[in-house]
Amino acid sequence: MTDNFENRPWGAFYVLVDESNTKVKRLVVNPGQRLSLQSHVHRDEHWVVVAGEGEVTLDDSLRTIRYGDHVFVGRGTKHRVRCTGTVPLQIIEIQTGDSFAESDITRYQDDYNRADSIL
Tell me which DSSP letter residue 4 carries.
Answer: G
Q: What is the pLDDT of residue 118?
A: 47
- Residues near 108 by beta carbon (within 8 Å), at least 6 away in sequence: 36, 37, 38, 39, 78, 117, 118, 119
Identify the pLDDT of residue 119: 39
pLDDT at 116: 59
Label residue 108 left, alpha or beta by phi (over 0 means left) and psi (-120 to 50 means alpha).
alpha
Query: Which pLDDT tens digit goes with each residue over 11-20?
Result: 999 999 999 9
Q: What is the pLDDT of residues 20-76, one digit of tens each?
A: 999 999 999 999 999 999 999 999 999 999 999 999 999 999 999 999 999 999 999
Number of domains in the chain: 1
Q: If 0-12 CB within 10 Å is exposed, 13-18 middle and 19+ buried, where does residue 19 land?
A: exposed
**Does the residue 119 lie in any domain?**
no
Domain membership of residue 33 as a residue range: 2-109
Residue 116 maps to a domain: no
The CA distance from 24 to 106, in Å, is: 20
Q: Is the pLDDT of residue 117 over 90?
A: no
**114 falls within a domain:** no
**Confidence check: pLDDT of 115 > 90:** no
CB-CB contact of 87 with 31 (8 Å): yes
77 part of a folded domain: yes
